[in-house]
Each structure stands twice: as C-alpha cells, then as structure tokens.
Chain A
Amino acid sequence: MSERPEDRNEKIAVRFQVNGEPTELLVSANETLLSALRNQLGLTGTKYGCGTGDCCACTVSVNGRAILSCLSLAAELEGENVTTVEGLSDGSKLNPVQASFAELGAVQCGFCTPGMIMTINALLAENPDPSEQEVRHYLRGNLCRCTGYVKIVDAALAAAGTMEA
C-alpha cells in the first residue's frame, strides 16, 4: 500500500468481473466505476445523468444489487461482480425486462432506459411478483423525462410474469 501524497497519480490495478468476464484495469483513485465502464471498457450503455445520485441513469448491478456507478470508485471494486445493461441479453436474445420494454413501448429517448432496466432486474431478483405499488416504490429514484412512467411500470409488471425464477 503506497502512502506518499506524491503517489496520488499512481494507477491502481483492479481485478473484477464485468458481465461475467474476468477484467483487469488500471484506474486512478478518483476514477468512478461509471468512467471506467464507459471510457476504459467502451460499455456506453450505462449513462451519466447527474453525477450526484439524483437520477439513477448510471445504475449497474454489483453482486446482484443495484448501485450508482457515478458514486462508486472503480478502485473499490476489487473482486466484485459487476453487471451492466450490456450483460443482460444472451447474444441477440433480450432478457425478459428488455423484451417487455421493447414490446410495450416503455422507451422514448432511451436515456433512462438502461438504469430502469437494471433497477427492475434487481427488483425481480428480490421479489419476482411485485405489486404496482412495489414497482413504483422500487423505481422511486429512477427519473424519466419522457414517458410519464406508466409504460415503464407496465413493462416491469409484464416482465415479472415471464422472468425465470
């Protein structure tokens, strides 16, 4: 462990899983997970909305839990298992949440969509059969400026019926 303040720019090696792939990156201490995903790994599905925890567009899963990549340090993820929206489909076969978003027209501009889908995936893993109110409560932090949320909630409920346990 290096402790000299002049070592602030020294890169830190992180080994973690990204969408099932063992991945090794050199990151700066101040690099967010969001930046590492987008800028180092080219995984631009995860969006930068606010950077301060207010919009949830940057939601990814770490060990199955939805977290905000804009407020996570990449260097803190050693050994963890990260899933982004790119990791959900099986080749060109969409996962049930993605498929019901497409089917029910829950996407307008699409900017909030990856965060919405990651959050709903986490919900359905915890609670495979949520009520509408439970969906709305779980999505309380995910902002959408286009849809008015109705179709997003519908898509979550429709996907609940088709998720594998």
Chain B
Amino acid sequence: MSTRVLPEFLLLRPDTFDEALSLVDRYRDKAEVLAGGTDLLVNMKCGTATPSIVIGIGKVDAFNRIEFDPENGLAIGALASIRALHDSPDVARYYPVLRDVAHLFANVQLLNMGTVGGNICNASPAGDFIPPLLSQNAHVVLGSASGTRTLKLIDFFVGPGKTVRRPDELLQTITLPPLSTDYHSGFVRITRTAEDLAKISVATVFSLRDGNFHDVRISFGAVAPTVLRMPDIEAFLEGKPMDDQTIGEATAMAAERISPITDLRSTSDYRRKIAGAALRQSILAAVERSPAQ
C-alpha cells in the first residue's frame, strides 16, 4: 500500500447522463464511479477498492444541481457538492440540519470536493449526511439504461458499504419532501477531532404542538451496520410534553435499541453509554433552533 501512488486504471469520462449510464451498464462490477473521489481514491490507495476502470461523472451536468420548490421539496443531484449544499439559501432556510452537517464536515477542502451522493453511495454507517436525510424521509432515484426507480433512503442500505444499487445503476437524485417551517431539527456528532468520522451521530426532527412532541423522527449513525431510525422512541415521544422527564425517559431507551461495534474510533460500551446523551443533545439543539421564518 502506498498513499502516494494510485494503482493503474482506465479512466472514462462521459459527457452526458446517457453516456454515463451506458458505461456503467457495459462495465458493471469492473468499474467504480468517481464523484468527488474523497472516499474512492483513498480506498484505491489503501487497496480496499481495486477497479480496473474508473468512470468519472464530474462532467455530467445533469447531476450537478440543487432545486427547491415548496410543493415538491428539495432535489439534490447526485453530484451536488457538499459546498453547494452549504451555500444554498433554500437548504439553510428549509432544511437547516443539512446546513449544520455541511458546516461541521471534515475539513473545508473535503467539503469543497465531496458530494452528498458519494456520502450516501459509500454507505458508511458513520456517513454524516445519512441520519439527517433519514430523519427527513428522503428518497433516492436510481437510473439505469432500462429506466429509473425510486426507493426510500432507508431501504437503500443493507450493511456497511453495501446498498441495493445494482452495478448497472447510478444514483441520480436524492429527494426530500417539503418540511413545514415550524419543524425543529438538530444534529449532533461526537468525534475525537473535527476531521474524524463520528463515534456516534444523531439527527432529530419533530414539531411541537402546544408543547407536545409530534411527528418525531430520530436517526442514529455509527451504532449498527447501517444508520438506524428509532421507531420505538419516536412512538414513545408522540404527544408527550417536551420536558426533562420525557426526554430523560426517551434517552434511557436509546442504549437498548442499538448494536454498536468496537472499532478504531470507539468501543461498543462507550457508544452505548453516550447514545442517550447524544440523543438529548440533538433534541435540545432542535428545540433551541427557532423554526424558520
């Protein structure tokens, strides 16, 4: 392994979406798709990805957009950079928790290079965009030479680094339904240094009706083979008053509902111990953020 030199490969750079689809269809398992490259090129240097062909989709303009309209919500093109998301006024106003994630992202350089699509396709249980997207009921649109299909994001992941994307498919768009501006949302990631992947992360979205929790969505990252929603805790909170006692009972449930591993970033034990505290912080961060005007 050398982190100085990349192994040899054939680089193909399609100009259009159709060309990109026909290339992934032709080469399938032999090829890897290159977006920002911040996961793929590291994996190639470390020998954990060994494609003989790399399909660089950077020139495909159709992928590079972020669009919002109040009726359909947000559409994030697979190649939209984390920087574009960070700078989007629509994201800041209507999906502020995505702006939070972009703001905290590894470092400025990787923020400029990396894409939201790459973060999702990489399917790390610690991928920072996954919890907030799950908590906002995101869908993914996958394209192939034979057409497109739309899935719930939660059904996209099957394990660490594994998704239901077929080798002849490209991620095309990530869509988020409109979120009424009276919703609260918060994101917390616990890390050793700013650049590290999360030991644990939590994204919480809910609204408050007369001081009671409503439509609560909680997602935990880095505590299981895939990012998890927490249906039991969500159901527990529904209709309960937003106070210390309720939050305390909800956070006590967290440790039992996760199956964290011990890896180089943290231990299983520690992750269980901090799960409740991370949930509490994300709820409090959400409460503190006044809903968008």
Which residues on A are within 8 Å of B, measured CB to CB?
1-5, 7-9, 12, 28-32, 35, 48, 50-54, 56, 59, 65-68, 70-73, 75-76, 119, 122-123, 138, 140-142
Contacts and interface: CB of A to CB of B under 8 A. Distances in A.
Contact of B12 (A1, A48, A59, A141): A1
Nearest to B193: A140
B108 A138 contact: yes
Contact of B4 (A51, A71, A123): A51
A29 B110 contact: no
Contact of B6 (A1, A9, A30): A30
B106 A30 contact: no
Chain B, interface size category, equals 35 or more
A56 B109 contact: yes
A141 B8 contact: no
B56 A3 contact: no
Nearest to B7: A30
B109 A140 contact: no
Nearest to A7: B10
Contacts of B112: 65-67
Contact of B109 (A9, A67, A73): A67
Contacts of B113: 67-68, 71-72
A68 B195 CA distance: 14
A137 to B, nearest CB: 8
Contact of A73 (B5, B37, B106, B110): B37
A59 B13 contact: no
A113 to B, nearest CB: 16
A28 B110 contact: no
Given A28-B8, A73-B11, A73-B37, A140 B52 contact: no
B12 A53 contact: no
6 nearest A-B residue pairs (beta carbon): A141-B107, A51-B3, A29-B11, A30-B6, A140-B194, A65-B112
B195 A54 contact: yes
B45 interface: yes
B255 interface: no
Nearest to A12: B11
Contacts of B4: 35, 48, 51
Contacts of A5: 10, 30, 52-53
A122 B58 contact: no
B271 interface: no
A71 B8 contact: no
A3 B12 contact: yes
Contact of A8 (B8, B34, B108, B109): B8
Interface string B89-126: 00000000000000000111110110000000000000
29 contacts: A1-B13, A3-B12, A5-B10, A12-B11, A30-B5, A30-B6, A31-B6, A51-B3, A51-B45, A53-B110, A56-B109, A65-B83, A66-B108, A66-B109, A67-B112, A71-B38, A72-B37, A73-B34, A73-B41, A73-B56, A75-B11, A75-B56, A76-B58, A122-B108, A140-B107, A141-B106, A141-B107, A141-B108, A141-B195
